[in-house]
């Protein structure tokens, strides 16, 4: 799956982990108004979301304009995931999932 989102209208990208439980999300923005924190969240139902953690630490990173960011993770197969962008940053983000 892939696409482009405008942060002024949505702040999440949603997907499912594949059958092997391994997924990656690639993010790139050429026009971010500022650096933005990216959080990985998981859900079984798609209604209630929790921040994904590795060894008790939230899986998060910072997206910087013009730099590619790849977030890779393992979770139960077919669990719902979303990448959420914190703050009030504006701009377009191109994304790809595996």
**Contact criterion met (CB below 8 Å) for 51 and 74:** no
Report pLDDT digits (tens) over 31-49. Answer: 999 999 999 999 999 999 9
Stretches in the chain below the pLDDT threshold 50: none
Write the DSSP symbol of residue 68: -
How many domains, the chain? 1
pLDDT value for 39:
97
pLDDT value for 3:
96
pLDDT value for 98:
86
Report pLDDT digits (tens) over 83-92. Answer: 999 999 999 9
Q: Check which CATH number belongs to the domain holding 60 and give it.
A: 2.60.290
What distance in Å separates the CA atoms of residue 88 and residue 90, rounded to the nearest whole number? 6
pLDDT value for 32:
96
| Domain of residue 79, residue span | 2-97
Q: Is 33 helix (H, G, I), strand (E, B) or coil?
A: coil
Q: How many CB atoms lie within 10 A of CB 44?
A: 11
């Amino acid at each position: 799956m892939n696409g482009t989102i405008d942060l002024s209208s949505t702040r999440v990208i949603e997907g499912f982990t594949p059958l092997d439980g391994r997924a990656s999300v690639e993010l790139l923005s050429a026009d971010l108004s500022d650096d933005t924190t990216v959080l990985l969240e998981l859900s079984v139902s798609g209604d209630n979301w929790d921040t994904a953690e590795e060894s008790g630490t939230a899986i998060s990173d910072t997206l910087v304009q013009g730099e590619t960011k790849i977030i890779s993770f393992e979770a139960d197969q077919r669990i719902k995931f979303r990448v959420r962008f914190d703050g009030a940053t504006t701009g377009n983000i191109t994304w790809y999932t595996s």
